[in-house]
Structure 1
Amino acid sequence: MKKIILTGGGTAGHITPNIALLPALKEAGFDIKYIGSKKGMEAELIKAQAIPYEGISSGKLRRYFDLKNFSDPFRVLKGLFEAKKIIKNYAPDIVFSKGGFVSVPVVMAAAFLKIPVIIHESDITPGLANKIASKFATKICTNFPETLKYLPKNKAILTGSPIRQELLNGDKEAARKITGFDNKPTLLIIGGSLGSVIVNTAIRKSLDDILKEFNIIHICGKGNVDENLLGKAGYLQYEYVDKELKDFFALSDIVVSRAGANTICELLALRKPNLLIPLSGAASRGDQILNAESFENSHYSKVIEEESLPNISLSEEISELYKKREEYISAMSRSDTSNGVENIMNLIKQYS
């Protein structure tokens, strides 16, 4: 039986793609171990999947001044020795990394031990952790064709993102029973794992106009439910959705979303026409803006900058997206990156 170590952590975006690979890895007969940080959110998420988990020391690598810059390198060095010991004892055939700072010592240790390493970069421009890891990688998977120019030509390959297969098996009628919606088109709104105050506010400001044409499922984030709108006909709010998400996707005709790489790749795989409102450059390194631009250029998405929200009619933009939905579906159906699990599994089998 071949063995694989998965790594990645810090945010859900560095964990859920690894989880999406688990069924295919098990089906292919791989024995699986996960290396993450000792205190990161990945520990709980991976243990819930009944996958053996090892925690290592982890430090953040920063481009800006912080007192922790003096101590974190020692944590990274400690994590490197811990990862090397785990890898040596487990003797995997290959390592797959989804990124995040905890992955850097794992990738380095695997490379030192001559074990093939495949890493995955979700965003258009590689983050600092993957920039470092890329020097030690055998192959680097990307979501976007634009990313290839930032990476070594002999290593980079366009694969798309691993998508949770259960999302493709939603039950529209089950969702209709949960929601009690009538036959109006359904709009699904996703504000990211923590929700988005800006998106939530814009939607609720235009709510009455949008509800004239659509039923709405609004995943608004923890603590963001508006109690004044509870019971409003055609409008359901959820802080977070897990098991029902696949059914809500099946019911939805169009989606309004932030532009996180994993989410928009799920929308591509599901062929869901979408309106993206990327996180502004003032609040991030601008990766969501680039992600959205790429999808807009490929005709997968309609894009509105969040700074423009006060000056437009959001209900009209959503209505226009719905009217042109078949054009977006047609463009998405021509994508060759929507089956990221299969593309990445082919690489894992090739190099393990």
Structure 2
Amino acid sequence: MKILVTGGGTGGHIYPALAFVNYMKKDPENEFLYVGAKKGLETEIVPAAGVPFVALEIQGFKRKLSLDNLKTVQLFLKSINQAKKILKEFRPDIVLGTGGYVSGAVVYAASRLKIPTIIHEQNSVPGITNKFLSRYVTKIAIAFPDAAAFFPTEKVSLVGNPRGQEVEGMQPNDGLIAYGLKVAQPTVLIFGGSQGALKINQAFREALPELKKRAYQVLYASGTRYYEQLTEEVAALPQGSNVSIQPYIENMTEVMANASLLVGRAGATSIAEFTALGIPAVLIPSPYVTNDHQTKNAQSLAKAGAVTIIGDSQLDGQTLLAALDDIMDHPEKQKAMAAAAKVQGISDASTRLEKLIKEMI
């Protein structure tokens, strides 16, 4: 089977796509081509993963009236024509789009060429690209049941997020030693993404003196942009062996498998990972995302008892400490949340997506 995958702009679009590609590589006869945007993260991530890659020049719309939007329309129309050439050369059996503006051009072009198409929506509230494409694609795969309300019912299938299936089954190991922490001690993992999150960083700084007194240990990834300033600010504070501050955690899923509790934003990829591993979480949805979809992501898990939510505007050192202690000091609650998280995770997302695709071609 020849599979063309497209999606980009953020890791939330890229990593599920690559997870599915990795899963489909189990059949050596499958062929892949990934189409991304020239200025997207995918230009680095996809080739590094060993997947054939082609880039198109495209950009997103500005939220305010701008002459740049005229250029956006021109690039979109141009990229559709470029995408048609790529499709005619590669001749895929199926085109899978995971979101981002480049996905809009490629999947739309494929639909015009009568190639079977499917989009994957990772969030509870779909982005503008997938809303647009829903009218043209053959099938729509979703990760959250709430997303179904935004799409034509007859096209929708709940499959989950392929990233979850990729990390499921990872076992605790001695990876925490590399960060100066103990293997057997209960661990809270706090992070705000590769660049970090200012509000989470400030709350951690406020909570740090008290965190050093706790029986549990904390691994904090500040993000590269905040690391130097943070380490300078805390240098004069009493040092505690139970707290490790890092700029970035390269092997995040491996470290995640060793965590007792997660604290971070409510992005779709992170959710897929910690629910697949069965880890409770304290989620702080980012208020800066389209349609506030992170809040909707988090709310669906909170209803199931898998996570605690702290609003970004309510986050400070005290609310962070209170949320951590409420879970870490109550083993039965932690256990119940972990079980609820595991139930919410869909452990066979790639398998479901593969089955759906085979039914289409």
Alpha carbons 1:121, 1:141 under 8 Å: kept: yes
How far 1:159 moved relative to its partner?
A: 1.3
2:335 corresponds to = 326
Give deviations 1:196-216, integer Å, cap 9, x for gaps: 110111122112323313211
Which whole-Å deviations, capped at 9, do the CAs of 1:174-214 have from their partners, x for residues lacking one? Answer: 21332342343100012123211101111221123233132
User: For the residues of structure 1 that align with 2:104 and 2:290, how far apart are their CA atoms?
Assistant: 22
Which residue number in structure 2 is paired with residue 302 of structure 1?
Answer: 308
- Corresponding residue SS for 1:157: strand
The residue aligned with 2:191 is: 190
Quote the residue 1:23 is aligned against: 22
Q: TM-score, normalised by structure 2?
A: 0.91
Take 2:72 and 2:32, find their aligned partners in 1: how far apart are those partners?
A: 29
Q: Deviations over 1:46-82 (max 9, x none)?
A: 1111211111221313453121111111100110000
Q: CA deviation at 1:169?
A: 5.3
Structure 2 unaligned blocks of 5 or more = none
1:8 aligns with 2:7: yes
Pairwise mapping of residues 1-352 of structure 1 onto structure 2 (< 5 A)? 2-28=1-27, 29-163=29-163, 167-168=167-168, 170=170, 172-182=172-182, 183-211=184-212, 212-225=214-227, 226-228=230-232, 229=234, 232-242=240-250, 244-280=251-287, 285-310=291-316, 312-322=318-328, 323=330, 324-335=333-344, 337-352=346-361
State the TM-score, normalizing by the size of structure 1.
0.93
Stretch of structure 1 that moved more, 87-96 or 15-24: 15-24
Structure 2 residue identity aligned to 1:193: S
| Cα distance in 2 for residues equivalent to 1:306 and 1:56 | 36
Q: Which amino acid aligns with 1:203?
A: F
C-alpha deviation, 1:337, in angstroms: 2.4
Please tell me whether the aligned partners of residues 140 and 156 of structure 2 are also in contact (alpha carbons under 8 angstroms). Answer: yes
Q: Distance in 2 between matches of 1:336 and 1:14?
A: 18
Could you say what the CA RMSD is over the residues aligned between the two structures, in angstroms? 2.0
C-alpha change, 1:177 and 1:310, in structure 2 (3 Å) is: closer
Amino acid in structure 2 at the alignment position of 1:236: S
Is the Cα–Cα contact under 8 Å of residues 206 and 315 in structure 1 kept in the other structure? yes
How many residues end up aligned between the 2 structures?
349
Structure 1 vs Structure 2: percent identity of aligned residues? 32
Cα offset, 1:280, TM superposition: 2.3
Q: Which amino acid aligns with 2:140?
A: I
Mapped contact 1:168–1:246 kept (Cα < 8 A): no
Structure 2 contact 206–316 (Cα < 8 Å) conserved: no
**CA offsets 1:8-45 (integer angstroms, 9 cap, x no match):** 01111111111111221111331000111123221111
SS state at 1:19 partner: helix
Q: State the AA in 2 paired with 1:214.
A: Y
Q: Is the 8 A contact 2:5 2:34 kept in 1?
A: yes
Question: 1:221 deviation in Å?
Answer: 1.0
d(CA) in 2 for partners of 1:284, 1:77: 24
Unmatched segments (≥5 aa) in structure 1: none
Letter of the structure 1 residue corresponding to residue 243 of structure 2: Y
Hey, what's the Cα distance between the residues in 1 that align with 2:318 and 2:158?
35
How far, CA to CA, are the matches of 1:40 and 1:173 in structure 2?
34
User: 1:7 offset after TM fit, Å?
Assistant: 0.2
Query: 1:39, 1:279 → 2: CA distance?
Result: 23
* Equivalent residues of 1:269, 1:339 under 8 A apart: no
